[in-house]
Amino acid sequence: MLFGLLAAFYGSAQSYTLSGNVKDSTNGEDMISATVYVKEISDGALTNVYGFYSLSLKKGTYTITVQYIGFNPKTVQVTMDKDQNLDFLLVPKGLTTKVVKVKSKKASDNVESTEMSVNELSIKTIKKIPALLGEVDLIRSIQLLPGVTTVGEGASGFNVRGGAIDQNLILLDEAPVFNSSHLFGFFSVFNPDAVKNVKLIKGGIPAKYGGRLSSILDVRMKDGNMKKLEGQGGVGIIFSRLLLEGPLIKNKASFVVAGRRSYIDLLAKPFLPEDLKEAKFNFYDLTAKVNYIVDKRNRIYLSAYKGRDVFGSGGDFGFNWGNTTATLRWNHKFNPKIFSNTTAYFSQYDYGLGAAFGESTFDWVSRIQNYSLKEDITKFVNPNFSYSFGGQSILSNYTPGNITVQADGNEITRGLANKLTLENALYLSNKWKINDKISTEFGLRGTNFIFYAKDSLNYYGSSPKIGKDPKELIRKEYPNTWTNKQIYFNLEPRASIKYSLNKKSSIKASYNRMVQYLQLVSNTTASIPLDVWTPANHEIKPIKADQVGLGYFRNFGKKDDFEFSLETYYKKLQNLVDYRDGADLLLNEFLEGDLIEGEGRAYGLEFYLKKNTGKLNGWISYTLARSERKVNGINNGKFFPNRFDKSHNLNMVLMYPISEKWEASANFVYSTGTPATFPTDQFNFYGYNPPHNAFDERNNYRIKAYHRMDIGVTHTRNKRSEWVFSIYNVYARKNPFSIYFQRQENNINLNEAIQYSVLGTFVPSVSYNFKF
């Protein structure tokens, strides 16, 4: 009713709606988060993820300016005496201007919008950051932002504000991606040529998102050039890429297809030892999209992605894994004020392992499939008020593991029980600019989760020795048909408030509760591709997190040359799952018996300073944080730091155009070492001498700090090609990934400590990028 009253008040003087899309004039690509500013009301709107804006204005004449970084602003006069549809085509700034702006929004948005804890990175920026082996990488780039860390090279996934890697919802055109890495984390699964926009939300998460505790990484693909056929690609040391895009029907339908394939195994062959000559380790990904503008009110998009990693010794042993997604979306404008998007998607993550010796073979396959339908509707009541509502249903089919063994002429198949889950959500939220100083965004998301079992179900009691022994199996059930065995309901309130101190600075506060109904079960240092996604069920509760944040945002300089923010957050997590010592997580029919519940907390301070104008651009981010957990039976029941806890995290990125054809960039990162568990003593048993910690502690030590500098230089030959040179880990620091212990090789009576570094030297590379 409140909404209605406000709408009525604002609508009392006759007002009309100006709406439309903002596009890139060279290829027709919709521009996300472009600003449409109305001088007369000192206010405006941002285009949504489909490039759409809607402004409700009273009768009169207005000066509208549309802006997007890297493009010439466009100003028009509009007379509002009826509802109007107006599209804006922006022209990119000429090549003569080598100033590269580092953000994609109007400079003061960081101060004015209620959004906090959000970082949007433009693809242009991502491509400038010096990359490992010359391969531009999305995930590696977001690790340079405050609050985002990783346990090191070779660790797939990333940690946001002290959250585990499974707590990030990674969306590719709205479909979730379960493993964002190729090759154990060295490269991400996203082909940067096909990506249009990347947004990372770390806190104050709006009600339309849900399902993971710590962050949303929203990746949007390009739609495809509406005007002419063109392509681009690159040849590098590790892989090559090619992208083709163009109109199917000029200005009405377009497509984009992009692929990448690695060939490092072919190149490395001559250097491999004899027994690995047939080894293969390669990966590829294919991204495709088609879109069709049906009419002024309707547009359809179909996107698909397939990626795969193949790893094997060539004949005797191998494993492979990959994501597959397909999304169908329909944008519908009911009227100039109401924008709707309907999405249907399919997402699958599967992995398999196989081994053979002589006549015997062993094959293992595991898979998670999501089928989902989602609806989002936004009504732009007026420039100060809009509201959104919608819902989503996800049906998930888990095949936790099926093995087939062939030995002595027999074939034995065995599988863990399949699981089916249904996750439903409904949300309602609004954005309300109360006055010149205060803006708010409130929302409520209600979620419901149903777990179905069919083949078999285990019920457990307690463990005789919590932390060491599995829980006792009390009974088994065999439902035989899909039966609902557990239901959960949760309410997730979301709120953000912004208070402007003056035109240049503001204070923002936010609160969100997030609930996550599935987890990645892993007890290794770095997540391996065979880690299992496990849903909540009759034994495992959904995990919940409450996060509060407070931040101060300030711009400096006439043209908002510097952007500054200081944010602090506190996150409390419940029902976290940990594993008893020695738990075997692979193909374990009694997995729930090995799990122990715990709680967690994470808190920190994030400092961020960015330079937007002038020749030298870049940013510094520094995070001081703590992420820890408390689990009964581990570390004597006291809080201990998480495996990915890093107290200090400093990132510096600099970009400088040396001349018209040469540009240099550099980055430096420093972070505290990760925690580790070290023994104090050892004992002998039957010829073995296992390590022992007399105090039974977990993560009682910290390994050495991590720091690294990378540099890169880009030489633009002409409009159609460039060479990129880079050196990763310039001063060749052997950053320790972990420390482990083993018997000495020449004296098995003595132990030694070994420091394992993933990268032991500097890694130079050259790549060539072209456009046609």
Partner 1 sequence: MKSILFTASIILLSSCEDRIDLELDKGFQQVTVEAVLNTDTSEQKVILRGSVPFFDDISTTPAIDNAIVHVISNTNDTLPFSFTANGVYSFKPTLAKRFELNKTYQLQIDIGGENYMADSKVNPVAIWDSLTYEYFDETGFASAGYYATMHARDIPGTGQCYWFRRYENDTFASGPADINKAYDAGSNPGEFDGEAFSFPNSVGGVNDFDQPYELGDTLRIEIQGISPDFYYFLDEIETQMTNGGLFASPPANVRTNIFNVDPKGRAALGYFVIGEMEAREIVLK
- Residue 590 touching partner 1 (CB under 8 A): yes
- Residue 700 touching partner 1 (CB under 8 A): yes
Task: Name residues contacting partner 1, limited to 342-371 (CB under 8 A).
Answer: 353, 357-358, 360, 362
Q: Which stretch binds partner 1 (CB under 8 A): 338-346, 367-375, 461-469, 482-490?
A: 461-469
H helix and E strand count, the chain:
6, 51
- Residue 680 touching partner 1 (CB under 8 A): yes
- Residue 693 touching partner 1 (CB under 8 A): yes
**In angstroms, rounded to a whole number, what is the distance separating the alpha carbons of residues 313 and 761?**
26
Contact 693, 679 (CB under 8 A): yes
- Residue 310 touching partner 1 (CB under 8 A): no
- Residue 731 touching partner 1 (CB under 8 A): no
- Residue 685 touching partner 1 (CB under 8 A): yes
Q: Which residue lies nearer to partner 1 by CB, 186 or 517?
A: 186
- Residue 123 touching partner 1 (CB under 8 A): no
Judging by DSSP bridges, how do beta strands 595-611 and 562-579 pair with one another? antiparallel
**In angstroms, rounded to a whole number, what is the distance separating the alpha carbons of residues 618 and 331?**
36
**In angstroms, rounded to a whole number, what is the distance separating the alpha carbons of residues 229 and 185?**
34
3-state secondary structure of 112: helix
Question: Identity (one letter) of the amino acid at 272?
Answer: L
Of 368, 196, 351, 190, which is closest to residue 285 (Cα–Cα)? 190
Question: Identity (one letter) of the amino acid at 116?
Answer: M
Please write down the HEC assignment for all residues of 208-259. Answer: CCCCCCCEEEEEEECCCCCCCCEEEEEECCCEEEEEEEEEEECCCEEEEEEE
3-state secondary structure of 647: coil
Q: Which stretch binds partner 1 (CB under 8 A): 224-232, 380-388, 665-673, 732-740?
A: 732-740
Task: Name residues contacting partner 1, limited to 486-525 (CB under 8 A).
Answer: 523-525
Q: Going by C-beta distance under 8 Å and a sequence separation of 6 or more, which residues neighbour residue 513?
A: 491, 492, 493, 494, 544, 545, 546, 547
| CA of residue 291 relative to chain centroid, distance | 24
CA distance to 16, 44, 336, 398, per residue, from 85 (Å): 11, 16, 8, 46
Q: Which residue lies nearer to partner 1 by CB, 24 or 309?
A: 309
* 8-state DSSP, 30: B
Task: Name residues contacting partner 1, limited to 315-334 (CB under 8 A).
Answer: 315-317, 319
Q: Which of 684, 718, 731, 746 is close enough to bind partner 1 by CB under 8 A? A: 684
Contact 653, 100 (CB under 8 A): no
- Residue 754 touching partner 1 (CB under 8 A): yes
> From the CB of 699, what's the least distance to partner 1, in Å?
8
Q: Which stretch binds partner 1 (CB under 8 A): 2-10, 165-173, 223-231, 314-322?
A: 314-322
Q: Which stretch binds partner 1 (CB under 8 A): 27-35, 339-347, 379-387, 688-696?
A: 688-696
Q: Which residue lies nearer to partner 1 by CB, 85 or 406?
A: 406
Rg (CA), the chain: 27
Beta bridge partners of 726: 712, 765
Q: Which two tokens stand for residue 43?
A: 């206010």
Q: Which of 415, 557, 679, 764 is close enough to bind partner 1 by CB under 8 A? A: 679
Q: Which stretch binds partner 1 (CB under 8 A): 89-97, 285-293, 444-452, 677-685?
A: 677-685
Task: Name residues contacting partner 1, limited to 383-412 (CB under 8 A).
Answer: 405, 407-408, 412
Task: Name residues contacting partner 1, limited to 547-576 (CB under 8 A).
Answer: none
Task: Name residues contacting partner 1, limited to 165-204 (CB under 8 A).
Answer: 183-184, 186
- Residue 686 touching partner 1 (CB under 8 A): yes
Q: Which of 472, 752, 766, 772 is close enough to bind partner 1 by CB under 8 A? A: 752
> From the CB of 696, what's the least distance to partner 1, in Å?
6
Q: Which of 124, 761, 766, 772 is close enough to bind partner 1 by CB under 8 A? A: 761
- Residue 314 touching partner 1 (CB under 8 A): yes
- Residue 413 touching partner 1 (CB under 8 A): no
Binding mask 257-296 for partner 1 (x = CB under 8 A): -------x---x--xx--xx-xx-x---------------
Q: Which residue lies nearer to partner 1 by CB, 481 or 749?
A: 749
Q: Which two tokens stand for residue 355?
A: 């081994």
| CA of residue 589 relative to chain centroid, distance | 31
Residue 583 burial (CB count, 10 A) = 17
Q: Which residue lies nearer to partner 1 by CB, 437 or 692?
A: 692
